[in-house]
Structure formats: structure tokens, C-alpha cells
Amino acid sequence: MQDFSFYNPTRIEFGAGKIASLDQLVPANAHVLVLFGGESARRTGTLDEVTAALGEREVQLFGGIEPNPSFETLMEAVALVRRHNIDFLLAVGGGSVIDGTKFVAAAALFEGDAWEVLTSMGQNIEKALPFGTVLTLPATGSEMNQGSVITLKSLQAKLPFKSELVYPQFSVLDPVKTYTLPTRQVANGVVDAFVHVMEQYLTYPTQAPVQDRFAEGLLQTLIELGPNALTEPQDYSTRASLMWTATLALNGLIGAGVPQDWATHMLGHELTALHNLDHAQTLAVVLPEMLRQRKAAKIGKLVQYAERVWNIHQGSDDDKAEAAIKHTRDFFEAMGVKTRLGDYGLGAEHIDGIINSLEQHGMVALGEHGDVTPAHCRQILLASL
């Protein structure tokens, strides 16, 4: 096992009806800005529930944070925070609203140009407003981590940042709130959580058996319960397990003490920024060929994944790896998330642009060994057509 430092200060309030606990979680004298996305929070009644729980506190609302939240929209929220002396933020939504709120928390107190929060990848954040979240879409793990991904629309750039100062103080996870999700978002959430586990698990063996077993348990839970959520959207126990699985997939626990990859995510971000695919759609396209193209370096873990997660015990190591990659693709397809660039109207003519963007963003040495170059990414995209 590698050395590590593990820190996670986010309180989780999990269960049906837990939004009522906002009254204890948010300071009584706080001046709160509630941030949300399009219309889902209002339409589903969650926003009303939240404002009711906040009682007599001074509350302002900021709606309109789009999927893949943009710098441009978030700077409007920053202006509102400054204008009204807001001192507590509350995100109500999925990964986009939570990521956006993290940016607002840091940018509102940032003394230079807020754009530098992103160009420094969060390293120059010195303070941030406190905030909590009410999660409505299990997928990203943003509710219990220090990461965020923001899009600059004018540059078509989707850039990650992280800082210990943007862990949520608390997150309310009520599985009932996920019943209203469209099928596409349920499927996206399962695929995103699955790939988060893979980015931290499918690297090379480092004698970290507890991290491996946790990761394998999360993957098996997603494989077992993901399809249930599509066919029985109101099954509480399925929704509850998926919600907690997605949080555990990216709250730092399974990644402590092991190498991490993230090449699939970095290449996927370019696909979203340039061609507007949903985040999980990009991962479903990239991951299978990413694994195949890097099979030699990952063979130890691929075989372990094949045997323990998919119960594949026949054939050579290469056979097992190939079968596991095929099962992975089939699982994404069975969830209804397409796995080929062509399924999203993209062809060979789009690949140069994607590779140029990767280079422009300095994503030229990706993966657990830093040896995944733009040339490899080109091969991966060609194989994913």
C-alpha cells in the first residue's frame, strides 16, 4: 500500500425526510443563498421543502445552473453573494449544482481574478464560504469530496479544480428525492460512479486488499442494482444503496493508498466541452477502449477485475481481460448509455479537434504512470468510433 493522507470533514445526513434536518445543520443566523439548476428542484417540490426547513433565516435563491456548470453563469451568483452579504451557500441538485456552488464559495472570497481559481486548479484558494448540499442525483460524489469541474463556455474548456476548503460541511442524501430522475440521468449516475471506481481500482496491484475489496463491492453493487433502478424507480432500498455507492465511489476512501488513473475522465471532459455529450456518456465511450489500449500495463488488475467482479475464470489472462472489457461495455449498453462515438453523431473527422483541446489543456501525460499521450488518446478514439 502507498502512503496517504486521508481527510474528509463532510457530515452525511442520510434517509427519507432528512431535508428537515437543515434547520439544525445551517447556522441559525445565516444569510443563505440556495443554488439550484433548471426547473427540477422547483417542479419536484424539493425547493419548497428546503426553504420551509430553513424557516425564518434570510434566504435568497439563485436558479439556472446548467448541466456542466459554466463560469459565466456562476459569476452571476458570485455577484449576488457579494451584493447581499451572503455567508452560507446551500446547493440543491446534482453534481453540476454542487460543483458550481463550490466554485461560487471560493470565487466569492477570492481576491484576484476568479478565473485563476480554475487556472491554478484550486491551488491558490485561501478561503471559501461555508456550504452544504441537498443531493438530488447520485453520480459524481461531489457531495462528499473536494473536487469540481467548471466549463468556460467562451473557450469550450472544461477544467477541474480541487481544494480542501470546498468540502461541503454537510450533505443531505434522501433517496426518495431520486425517484423523479429521468431514466437517462439514473443510467448516467450508475455509469459515472462505476467509472469513478475503475479510475481508482483498475491500475496496477499495490497490495492494498482492503481498497480492492471495497472497490469490487461497489462495482458489484452497481452491476446488481443499476438495472433495478431503471425497472423499479420507486424501490427505496435500490435507490438508497445506489445513492450511498455513488458517494463512496468518490469520497476519497477507496483512492487512499492506491495509484489512480483518471485518463478516461480527462479525455471525456474534452468530448463534453466540444460536443456536449453528457459526462457519463463520454466515460461509456472512452473507458472500454482505454482499458483495451492499455491492456499490457493493466493486465494484473484486469485479470483480478475479470475474476472477482465478473466471475470469469476460463482462458488465458488475455482472454479474461478481453471478456471483462466486453462485459463492461455490455453493462453500459444495458443501462442504456451508448458506447460508440458514432452513437452520438461523431466520426473520425472530429478526432483532431479533440486531441488539439487535450494538448491545449496540458493533458499530455495522463494515467497512473503519466504515459498516456495525445497519440494514445487518438488511438483510443479511433477504436471507439
Rounded Cα distance, 230 and 184, in Å: 9
User: If binding is defined by CB under 6 A, does position 137 make contact with ligand NZQ?
Assistant: yes
Burial environment of residue 338 by CB neighbours within 10 A (0 to 12, 13 to 18, 19 or more): middle
Handedness of CA 158, 275, 281, 132 (dihedral sign): positive
If one asks whether residue 357 binds ligand NZQ (CB under 6 A), the answer comes out as no
Applying CB under 5 A, does 13 fall inside the site for Zn ion? no
Query: Does 171 engage in binding with ligand NZQ (CB under 6 A)?
Result: no
CB of 282 to ligand NZQ, least distance (A): 9
In the chain, % helix, strand, coil (3-state, to 5) comes to 55, 10, 35
Interaction between residue 177 and ligand NZQ (CB under 6 A): yes
Q: Which is nearer to Zn ion, 167 or 262 (CB)?
A: 262
What's the rounded Cα separation, in Å, for the pair 91 and 134? Answer: 6
Contacts with ligand NZQ, 78-117, as mask; x by CB under 6 A: ---------------xxxxx-x------------------
Q: Is 192 in the site for Zn ion (CB under 5 A)?
A: yes
Question: Which CB atom, from 47 or from 302, has the smaller least distance to ligand NZQ?
Answer: 47
CA-CA distances (angstroms) from residue 364 to 258, 259, 279, 291? 22, 18, 20, 18
Verify binding: residue 44, ligand NZQ, rule CB under 6 A.
yes
- The least distance separating ligand NZQ from the CB of residue 186, rounded to whole angstroms, comes to 10
344: left (phi over 0), alpha (psi -120 to 50) or beta: alpha
Angle between helices 317-334 and 183-201 (to 10 degrees): 160
180-219 residues in contact with ligand NZQ (CB under 6 A) are 180-181, 185, 188, 192
| CB 300, min distance to Zn ion, A | 24
131-135 and 88-93 beta bridge pairing:
parallel
- 362 Rama class: left (phi>0) / alpha (psi -120 to 50) / beta: left
Min. distance of Cβ 180 from ligand NZQ in angstroms? 4
Kindly state whether residue 250 participates in binding ligand NZQ, applying the rule CB under 6 A. yes
Give Rg (Cα) of the chain: 20
Angle CA(84)–CA(85)–CA(86) in degrees, nearest 5? Answer: 90
Q: Show the site string, 216-245: x = touches ligand NZQ by CB under 6 A, - = not.
A: ------------------------------
Query: Can you read off the three cell numbers belonging to residue 20?
Result: 428537515
Count of residues binding ligand NZQ (CB under 6 A)? 34
Among residues 280, 211, 217, the alpha carbon closest in space to that of 245 is found at 217
Strand partners, 372: 366
Q: Which does 226 bind (CB under 5 to 8 A by kind): ligand NZQ, Zn ion, none?
A: none
CB of 171 to ligand NZQ, least distance (A): 12
Site map (CB under 6 A) of ligand NZQ, residues 261-280, x = contact: ----x-------------x-
- Partner from Zn ion, ligand NZQ, none binding residue 180, C-beta < 5-8 Å depending on class: ligand NZQ
* Interaction site with ligand NZQ (CB under 6 A): 37-41, 44, 67-68, 93-97, 99, 136-137, 139-142, 145, 147-149, 177-178, 180-181, 185, 188, 192, 250, 265, 279
